[in-house]
Chains A and B, each alone.
Chain A
């Protein structure tokens, strides 16, 4: 009888729980997962870098005379996050390939972190299935040249080899880590609201990806991934929204 009451109480309690917050207070710089860089005067699509899908950092020096300038790309397949000297400027995709850059005068490093989500299967671009960025990149109509292209080993890197330190202030893409406690091993949904685009591992098991523009804002975490007590979460965030927490919810989250 007492036992039944206890379970009843537990149920009441657990349904009342609001998402458990997870703090991601450790960070690992992305340079740890750089693969061999390729240098070229003009842009090379990912196909020429041997990247079937995944991420490449494209970077180049730019010099601007005016305070602001428009950066325009010929092709963005499929998603690019624009940084200047490590500061987030915005995102690009194939249906919006222009961005205004401010506080620009002088010489800077332009960094484009690009994700290729795999081959397209239909549409007018079907016969031109290059991925990544290619063609011209223009800054106020001037060619940006001399690119360094660095494939990023995100999905196949041995996570336990990543070296984390206390999370530094900064906006560049990177890995973040947090520890959280689990007192009952049950299926949970990881609420990623507020984060940009990235991938998640829990206890070294890949659990899924997210993107702020999807309606679906959570990833199912199977109970068999979780362990009683301390659990570790690692997040790769491409568009650094400077979020510091995620949370665990009991039901899927849609926006």
Chain B
């Protein structure tokens, strides 16, 4: 049935635009359709379609049922996700009477829906004629045999968004956690008439070595008669136009035609820095003694090849480093992923704004517009099928669905240069022979992408890259930073294929309740936020909601800086996929982004500042710690991460140390040198003795490193004097680790007690520097806290430089501390070191607070003051500041607490 026929190549270089009258005609089907729900699933399979009666309601398409408030009005306030206002899962019927133009006689007639969920069945008049269940690609139903040109047909479409196979409900292609499992028809929807000899498929395979493309056409011929003619290719791009003609002949129902077209030396390559995109249009003209036929098909392509390098993905034989974001179909404004160019353009521009060059589509594949915009902006895609978890466990029906789906994706989007990586799905378990089968077949079917079996699970032989949190050499993910930076993931990343760090980041920010109002016109609502907010209100802290948000947000920003820099220091890593730059509104609700679910900035960091540590070229420092004593020396190894378009010749490398006000305290240069491209280069080392730094009022200093004054990055360090005799009791001030008789008496006399209990004598959670991983609802394990709000303007911090949020100087203060449950304390009492609780709990928590007890003045600090105190300059300084405060004349606690509260958080 399939046959290669002669293709005589004729080459014509032409600057003229041929005016070709395409014989394809289309009827736009958007607009009003009849509509009926069918929650009982009774209509299909029963006699009712045969009645051929008009559906009673109307709906506008493209659209989804949610747009018209169809379905079950949800009374719930889901905690673990946004709540869909109107739920609908079942068959829904859409109908239109359409006159098939009489001129379409002899044509092939198709009805085309760009995207739907997930089974679409088309009925012509009373008969079901076509069913398609792709999730990731358009549904194109062939109606030729069932419609008669010149006649009005009743076209009834059943869209069934129930799970057609037993697949994981978390797949982002249709999960309630992110985009909802909508019912409707989206994007382009049209009726098409095509000549009976037509191009069913056109795939373009670039060869950058000789600037040629191999074009493979699948010609369908429904005439059952031989036709002859030619295929004319028009290749067009910026300042480029080329025409090429080949002869074709077809006497079979399917014929493949291949043409190799030399594009000459004016053709430009495609990559992230030079996203040169070309349009190829093929016009097929054929005829026999009876008639002539014409069909035109276009595709976008770029001159790029992707290969598996040693540690990196190679684009046009050059190693690229992937700075990526995990995209989980988070589109709460519409409830579905957009199908228009403008929406995707916004996302690609955001990627560039934040220095990223890569998107991983986690367990889903985006529509065409996403590829078009990624082609245009130079963003590298990894796309997946709707496959997750146990989806590879034996189930032949499900397996067959995946076997169709992978081919569908490769055929529909394979030409796009942005499509560099394919993976079957996320964290798959089950039968890995099946995963290997898909992966090997993908490689065989389309060599324009690199393939991987599964993220973060069992490796298979056909893997060409591996996205994982670990390899058999150890962890490659980075979830959190450290106060030191002399580490990377090189050893662990260095295996037989390039390794991409899986779902790095994931640091939780306290929800921004201001976002609630953004859902007014969405199909979903943040009712969980309402619950969290009410809880915070009940616990007397609603006024602190914004402070919790910005303090935890600032911590997430500094964690992401540390996480990303660690991954950039890892020259043997192929890249990373951050989870994520935008919030994930399901799986418990994970506000881990610096952008909200609408991809709007939360105002935590500007793109310019973000690009200092996430960009094609980044200045890096390796140093041992963040907090120093004054008699120490700060020493750093400087590196430059450079995966830009070129090496940096004769780079001027400067460092400087500034104080809080930006005043330069020290500066110096490293040797001017050329910095290689596609590598992380060591550029030298510098030391700054801290003895001579005058500390004045600030302890926070900033080390800056710049390349040619255009690439800048900076790191905060803290310098403190040494304190030898801390926590000395006086007549007025008693330091004690136990709340005993002596302490009570001291208070009864109106004097001061500083209670610094041993951590193991304080009830409650262990304090952890990092804010909670992902979210505390899905991962209900320690710490169950989201950073700290520091009441930095209080006089207790007069001698301890801090912001309203924790920075790396807080590391050794917090890590061995205990979190005191303070719900029983008076509402007005606010701890000066206030720990932010999990937002589904919202209890008042603290590590340090002051109060009036029994007529005396009490300050409690649940920080470990024993372990290696001589190596903890910041803890020493905090204790010093507290000491000066309690012994000075500003210590006047206002809030009275009962002794019973003090006892409530101590053991015994």
Contact = CB atoms under 8 A, between A and B. Distances in A.
A121 B780 contact: no
A208 B472 contact: yes
B471 interface: yes
Given A122-B389, A216-B472, A254-B461, A189 B432 contact: no
B779 A214 contact: no
A168 interface: no
Given A215-B459, A215-B461, A210 B472 contact: yes
A129 B389 contact: no
Given A215-B459, A216-B472, A121 B427 contact: yes
A209 B781 contact: no
A222 interface: yes
B459 A126 contact: no
B496 A209 contact: no
A174 B460 CA distance: 29
Interface of A: 118-119, 121-123, 126-127, 129, 189, 206-210, 214-216, 219-220, 222, 252, 254
B458 A206 contact: no
Nearest to B310: A187
B170 A215 contact: no
Given A122-B389, A222-B494, A215 B436 contact: yes
Contact of B459 (A129, A209, A216): A216
Contacts of B460: 215, 254
Q: Is the interface of A mostly helix, strand, loop or mixed?
A: mixed
A124 to B, nearest CB: 10
Contact of B473 (A122, A189, A219): A219
Contacts of B494: 220, 222
B54 interface: no
A126 B461 contact: no
A216 B499 CA distance: 15
B472 A209 contact: yes
A129 B587 CA distance: 16
Contacts of A189: 496
Given A121-B427, A208-B474, A126 B432 contact: no
Given A122-B427, A207-B473, A209-B472, A214 B458 contact: yes
14 contacts: A121-B779, A122-B170, A122-B587, A122-B778, A129-B781, A189-B496, A208-B471, A208-B472, A215-B436, A215-B459, A215-B460, A216-B458, A220-B494, A222-B494
Contacts of A206: 473-474
B495 interface: yes
Contacts of B458: 214-216
A27 to B, nearest CB: 23
Nearest to A47: B781
A41 to B, nearest CB: 24
A205 B338 CA distance: 50
B780 A123 contact: no
Nearest to B496: A252
A254 B473 CA distance: 16
Contacts of A121: 427, 779
Given A121-B427, A189-B496, A252-B496, A214 B459 contact: yes
A220 B432 contact: no
B472 A126 contact: no
B652 to A, nearest CB: 33
Residue of B389, B460, B473, B494 with most partner-chain A CB within 10 A: B473
A119 B781 contact: yes
Contacts of B780: 127, 129
Contacts of B170: 122
A3 to B, nearest CB: 27
A224 to B, nearest CB: 10
Contacts of B470: 118
A126 B496 contact: no
Nearest to B492: A208
A219 B474 CA distance: 11
B778 A126 contact: yes
Contacts of A209: 472-473
Interface string B430-463: 0010001000000000000000000000111100
A220 B473 contact: yes
Contacts of A119: 779, 781
Contacts of B471: 208
A209 B432 CA distance: 19
Nearest to A129: B781
B577 to A, nearest CB: 15
Nearest to B494: A222
Contacts of B779: 119, 121, 126, 129
B459 A219 contact: no
A215 B471 CA distance: 13
Interface in B253-298: none
Interface in B382-439: 389, 427, 432, 436
A219 B472 contact: yes
A214 B429 CA distance: 12
Contacts of B461: 215, 252, 254
A220 B495 contact: yes
A209 B473 CA distance: 6
Residue of A122, A126, A127 with most partner-chain B CB within 10 A: A122
- A-B residue pairs, 3 tightest by C-beta: A254-B461, A216-B459, A208-B472
Given A129-B781, A222-B494, A215 B472 contact: no
Contacts of A215: 432, 436, 458-461
A254 B436 CA distance: 11
A127 B778 CA distance: 7
A126 B170 CA distance: 14
Nearest to A205: B491
Contacts of A219: 472-473
Contacts of B472: 208-210, 214, 216, 219
B496 A220 contact: yes
A122 B362 CA distance: 15
Contacts of A118: 470
Residue of A118, A119, A210, A214 with most partner-chain B CB within 10 A: A214
A208 B436 contact: no
A122 B590 CA distance: 14
Nearest to B471: A208
Nearest to B459: A216
Contacts of B432: 215
Nearest to B462: A254
B140 to A, nearest CB: 35
Contacts of A254: 459-461
A8 B461 CA distance: 30
Nearest to A53: B475
A121 B778 CA distance: 9
Contacts of A216: 458-459, 472
Nearest to B388: A122
A95 B389 CA distance: 14
A157 to B, nearest CB: 16
Given A121-B779, A214-B472, A219-B472, 13 more contacts: A118-B470, A119-B779, A121-B427, A122-B389, A122-B587, A127-B780, A129-B779, A206-B474, A208-B472, A216-B458, A220-B495, A222-B494, A254-B460
Residue of A215, A222, A252 with most partner-chain B CB within 10 A: A215
B478 to A, nearest CB: 14
A242 B340 CA distance: 61
A204 B529 CA distance: 52
Interface string B854-877: 000000000000000000000000
A252 B495 CA distance: 10
Interface string B580-611: 00000001000000000000000000000000
